DNA sequence: GCCTAATTGCGAGTTACTCGCAGGTGTCAC
DNA sequence: GTGACACCTGCGAGTAACTCGCAATTAGGC
């Protein structure tokens, strides 16, 4: 773990709470702040929700985690090194699927060429209907 | 306006408040529930925020308006007939640009072919950095 | 070990909605 | 035009998800 390095470089400290928040994000894959808090409480019951929110923000500034909007409204956090796929959110069943970012390569390039817009495909989910829900349920 | 038709078909009524909410959405283009409420209050000051929220939801069920996630968390509403473009949200300056849905056609097709996922590109914004913010500001 | 600034926990405050209820009012039937 | 009913509205209370200020604590450099 060279996480300390990332933090210290910015004059930040590596506290037990911060380590636990980062570990929780890494372990959970996708997680809302509340889920992270719950996970952290398993090993450090006294941790405050504010602390979780603040650490998530701090870790994001440092670049160790990133947030994504999967729907509803709240943000979902990921470890930065996991962000190699985009999210397919099904509006019917609510499931979240993954797809490699390469699928969007052409799309990203068109946007860059035609609009000068540099897209971060992983930040927002891709909304639609998954194969399971789209197939006419017989009837 | 055949809006009445859409509503009555589902046993719903066309009240003045409902009409105003729909008119406000059409006039504003993109609007948050609060912006809609403010707009409606210009001609009908007594309208309640709950009423705006409920009507937005009702109109969405009927298919006259749709909501999109442009960022932050809250939803933004559009008249259904206006949803012919996708939104390019700049993470730096916060501006919202438009691009025709055709740009995403290939992307949507790949997702459909490879994952059976039927994408609704307009539901979530496309996040990134706009041309203005991306160009190194001289300096 | 000491000192300073970054952090934490806590409680209060804010924002954006959501809900239940009682009275009001479009619509349809006649 | 009149009546009746179910849909709507306004209102106030309630909730979820954060955010903030502050005093006490503690990581890290020396």
DSSP for chain A, written as a single string: --HHHHHHTTT----HHHHHHHHHHHHHSSB-HHHHHHHHHTT-TT--HHHHHHHHHHHHHHTSEEEEE-SSSSEEEEEGGG-SEEEEEETTT--EEEEEGGGGHHHHHHHHHHH--EE-TTTBPEEEE-HHHHS----
Q: Quote the minimal CA–CA distance from B97 to chain A in Å.
A: 9
* pLDDT score, position B139: 38
Mean pLDDT of B39-66: 94
pLDDT surpassing 50 at residue A138: no
Mean pLDDT of A47-62: 96
Supply B82's token pair: 């206006």
B138 pLDDT band, cuts 50/70/90, is very low
Q: Quote the minimal CA–CA distance from A81 to chain B in Å.
A: 19
Beta strands in B17-119 (DSSP E): 65-69, 75-79, 85-90, 96-100, 118-119
pLDDT surpassing 50 at residue B76: yes
* pLDDT score, position A2: 65
With contacts defined as CB-CB under 8 Å, which chain A residues touch B126?
A: 111, 117, 119, 121, 124
Provide, in whole angstroms, the distance separating residue B124's CA from nucleotide D22's C1': 39
- Candidates B91, B103, B110; nearest CB to A111: B103
- Candidates A118, A119, A130; nearest CB to B117: A130
Candidates A76, A90, A96, A111: best to mutate against B (most CBs of B within 10 A) is A111
Read off the pLDDT of residues B82-129 as tens digits, 9 standing for 90 and up: 778 889 999 888 888 889 999 999 999 999 999 999 999 999 999 999
Provide, in whole angstroms, the distance separating residue A93's CA from nucleotide D5's C1': 36
Provide, in whole angstroms, the distance separating residue A79's CA from nucleotide D14's C1': 35
* pLDDT score, position B136: 58
Read off the pLDDT of residues A7-29 as tens digits, 9 standing for 90 and up: 888 889 999 999 999 999 999 98
With contacts defined as CB-CB under 8 Å, which chain A residues touch B121?
A: 126-127
B23-27: long-range contacts at Cβ-Cβ below 8 A with a sequence spacing of 24 or more?
B25/B56, B25/B59, B25/B65, B25/B77, B25/B78, B25/B79, B26/B79, B26/B82
* pLDDT score, position A139: 38
pLDDT surpassing 60 at residue A137: no
Among chain A residues, the shortest Cα distance to B123 is held by A127
pTM: 0.87
> From CA A20, how far away is CA A44, in angstroms rounded?
8
Supply A75's token pair: 């943000």
Is B125 in contact with A137 (CB distance < 8 Å)? no
pLDDT surpassing 90 at residue A92: no
A33 Cβ nearer than 7 Å to chain D strand: yes
Q: Quote the minimal CA–CA distance from A43 to chain B in Å.
A: 30
Whether A117 and B97 lie within 8 Å, measured CB to CB? yes
């Amino acid at each position: 773990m060279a996480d300390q390095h990332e933090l210290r470089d910015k004059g930040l400290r590596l506290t037990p709470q911060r380590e636990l928040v980062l570990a929780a994000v890494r372990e959970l894959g996708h997680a809302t702040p509340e889920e992270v808090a719950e996970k952290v409480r398993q090993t450090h019951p006294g941790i405050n929700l504010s602390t979780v929110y603040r650490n998530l923000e701090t870790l994001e500034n440092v670049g160790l985690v990133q947030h994504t909007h999967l729907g509803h409204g709240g943000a979902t956090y990921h470890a930065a090194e996991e962000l190699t796929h985009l999210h397919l959110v099904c509006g019917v069943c609510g499931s979240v699927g993954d797809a490699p970012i390469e699928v969007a390569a052409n799309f990203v390039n068109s946007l860059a060429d035609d609009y000068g817009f540099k897209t971060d495909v992983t930040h927002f989910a891709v909304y639609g209907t998954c194969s399971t829900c789209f197939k006419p349920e017989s009837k």
